[in-house]
């Protein structure tokens, strides 16, 4: 594959794969260190990458402080006796008559919603579980002297351990399963066994989930017409074909996260942000990241910045010179776009007309449940695992995300499919989610340390080309989107861009999660959002105050986002050419290109 440099005068560099292989083969470690790292890598394959010493440290911190707090021990013992008494009284009364339940489920826990759970003896079993859960929550909350991280880890681990034994997960203590088994004369369990065998077989053979075969990139997904106009060893840049006679002169460059395939933003006809923007008269470019392998182990964040975002921006500027660009970043793509924007501002590069961050964090001090797994022990453990194999595998990433939402993604699925005998339906978003990617070892370790653990970007300590950058240097206006149920990038964390910059920030809060909230077609019947523009000199409002003062708007955030881009664009003109053949950027493969098809 011929390598082309989009920007004239930029010094040529050795191929990424060659540099990565050189770095990796020349790295020397003492033999005992190598043995330890291989030992940890072997453990990690059994623990989903979770550090056993980190788990032990959290439990030890709690147990040692509790052992030295006799007053707290008495308090917890009294709470246990009180709860046991209430439960015993409830059980005695529930056997004879309907009575109020003393231990209600927390939040929107749906496990015990069915009316059958309020009948004896199932209500006693459910109440016993909820009482135990409430006691452990109390026991692991606010222990004096325990570090905040260990407390959060302990609460999470205790809750997950208890969830394994919830009566809803066991066929003989789940009234819904028993009712279904009686009604189906056991056929639901036979279907569930067939589903389990089929899923295990597909997993063993590296196949996607059942139904994913019906969704194929280029056939019924990632269908917006376009061409690859630039390719290097890390990205393909897709330029999309205009569908309007005139377009806004400022193009839109989309930077998706390398942790996912880009086409979540071009999911399917009628449900594609890219298609929507093109249809409203925007020239859209999108990066498609290459799926890295073992040879790419030493690719770092700086490679993703230079050979990814900057290379794509250079190509766009070559095709459409003398025009500014609307940068749009999703998830980690937004984080690296913010890094690029700050470095450009520091260096006097004014090519960005605006910056939009979709479920993207720039301050990681409150980065949600993912932070439960980010400490020195955990990162060292992950680094050893990736050192051995060269990358973080798709299944290892998926396992961590499933662990964060075990009730939704593990136990409820087991009950529904293998006990109730109901096979989950498949849709385009689920099929995309099953089409995972890997991450190079060096890059993954760098962003975990520099961004999550040390939070350098928000503190003005993240260095680009040997010099620190500051988000306050950015002069382009910002559009930021948070989603209400985001467990990866909590919206309160995304909202912090308001504290870190000195430009007008338009913030949209939409319903849904990290992916479903962003994929929000305009005709979706159950979408709403809140929206407001905060001037640079406006008085700061904390997130909860901001929400309370903003009206709920029905519909998709795509509509005001497109209007925001249009307001910051010039008069419409004729569309640009596809690529720039005369400047060394001829159109290559049709969209969606090659890289997105790689496994």
Q: Give me the active site residues, please.
A: 331
Rounded-to-integer distance, Cα 79 and Cα 117, Å: 25
Tell me the pairing of strands 467-468 and 463-464: antiparallel
The SS3 assignment for 567 reads helix
Instruction: Count CB atoms within 10 A of the CB of residue 142.
Output: 9
Separation of CA 242 from chain center: 30
> Which residues are paired to 354 by β-bridges?
326
CA angle 139, 143, 148 (to 5 degrees): 115
The SS3 assignment for 224 reads coil
User: Which of these, 228, 231, 226, lies nearest to 1 by C-alpha position?
Assistant: 231
Asked whether the beta carbons of 199 and 193 are under 8 A apart, the reply is no
Separation of CA 236 from chain center: 22
Tell me the pairing of strands 325-330 and 252-255: parallel
**DSSP 8-class letter at 553:** E
- Return the half-sphere exposure (C-beta side, CA atoms, 13 A cut-off) of residue 468: 11
Asked whether the beta carbons of 240 and 226 are under 8 A apart, the reply is yes
Give every CB contact of residue 335 below 8 A, 6+ residues apart in sequence.
329, 360, 361, 362, 447, 451, 457
526 CB-contact burial (10 Å; exposed 0-12 / middle 13-18 / buried 19+): exposed
Helix axes 148-163, 52-67, angle to 10 degrees: 100
Rounded-to-integer distance, Cα 197 and Cα 399, Å: 20
- Tell me the chain's radius of gyration from C-alpha atoms: 26
Helix, strand, coil shares of the chain, percent, nearest 5, are 50, 10, 40
Cα distance from N-terminal residue to C-terminal residue, the chain = 19
CA dihedral 209, 448, 237, 521 (to 10 degrees): 60
User: Which of these, 55, 175, 42, 159, lies nearest to 109 by C-alpha position?
Assistant: 159
Residue 317's H or E segment, with its range, is: helix 311-319
Cα dist from 276 to 205, 269, 498, whole Å: 37, 9, 27
């Amino acid at each position: 594959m011929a390598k082309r440099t989009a920007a004239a005068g930029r010094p040529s560099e050795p191929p990424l794969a060659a540099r990565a292989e050189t770095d990796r083969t020349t790295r020397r470690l003492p033999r005992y260190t190598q043995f330890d790292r291989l030992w940890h890598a072997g453990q990690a394959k059994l623990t989903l990458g979770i550090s056993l010493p980190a788990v032990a440290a959290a439990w030890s911190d709690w147990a040692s402080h509790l052992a030295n707090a006799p007053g707290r021990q008495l308090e917890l013992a009294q709470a246990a006796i009180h709860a046991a008494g209430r439960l015993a009284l409830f059980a005695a009364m529930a056997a004879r008559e309907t009575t109020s339940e003393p231990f209600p489920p927390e939040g929107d826990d749906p496990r015990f919603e069915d009316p059958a759970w309020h009948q004896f003896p199932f209500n006693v079993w459910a109440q016993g579980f909820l009482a135990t859960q409430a006691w452990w929550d109390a026991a692991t909350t606010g222990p004096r002297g325990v570090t905040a991280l260990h407390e959060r880890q302990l609460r999470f681990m205790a809750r997950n351990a208890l969830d394994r034994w919830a009566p809803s997960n066991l066929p003989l203590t789940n009234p819904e399963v028993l009712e279904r088994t009686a009604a189906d004369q056991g056929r639901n369990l036979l279907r569930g066994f067939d589903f389990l065998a089929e899923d295990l077989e597909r997993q063993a053979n590296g196949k996607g989930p059942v139904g994913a075969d019906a969704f194929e990139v280029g056939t019924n997904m990632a269908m917006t017409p376009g061409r690859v106009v630039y390719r290097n060893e890390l990205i393909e840049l897709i330029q999309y074909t205009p569908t309007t006679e005139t377009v806004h002169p400022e193009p839109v460059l989309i930077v998706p996260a390398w942790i996912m395939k880009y086409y979540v933003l071009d999911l399917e006809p009628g449900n594609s942000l890219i298609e929507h923007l093109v249809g409203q008269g925007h020239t859209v470019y999108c990066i498609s990241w290459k799926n890295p392998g073992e040879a790419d182990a030493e690719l770092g964040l700086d490679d993703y910045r230079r050979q990814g975002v900057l290379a794509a921006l250079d190509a766009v500027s070559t095709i459409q010179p003398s025009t500014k660009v609307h940068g749009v970043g999703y998830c980690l793509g937004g984080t690296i776009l913010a890094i690029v924007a700050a470095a450009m501002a520091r260096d006097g590069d004014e090519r960005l007309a605006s910056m939009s961050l979709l479920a993207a964090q720039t301050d990681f001090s409150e980065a949600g449940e993912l932070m439960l797994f980010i400490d020195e022990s955990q990162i060292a453990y992950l680094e050893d695992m990736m050192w051995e194999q060269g990358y973080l595998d798709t299944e290892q990433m998926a396992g961590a995300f499933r662990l964060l939402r075990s009730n939704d993604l593990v136990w409820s699925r087991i009950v529904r499919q293998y006990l109730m005998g109901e096979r989950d339906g498949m849709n385009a978003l689920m099929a995309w989610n099953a089409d995972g990617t890997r991450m190079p070892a060096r890059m993954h370790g760098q962003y975990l340390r520099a961004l999550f653990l040390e939070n350098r970007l928000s503190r003005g300590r993240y260095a680009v080309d040997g010099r620190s950058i500051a988000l306050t240097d950015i002069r382009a206006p910002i559009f930021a989107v948070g989603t209400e149920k985001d467990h990866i990038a909590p919206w309160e964390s995304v909202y912090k861009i308001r504290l870190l910059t000195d430009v007008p920030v338009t913030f949209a809060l939409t319903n849904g999660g990290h992916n479903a909230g962003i994929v929000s077609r305009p005709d979706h019947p159950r979408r709403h959002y809140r929206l407001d523009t905060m001037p640079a000199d406006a008085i700061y409002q904390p997130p909860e105050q901001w929400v309370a003062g903003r009206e709920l708007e029905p519909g998709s955030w795509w509509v005001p986002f497109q209007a925001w881009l249009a307001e910051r664009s010039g008069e419409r003109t004729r569309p640009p050419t596809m690529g720039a053949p005369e400047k060394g950027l001829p159109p290559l493969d049709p969209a969606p290109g090659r890289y997105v098809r790689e496994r």
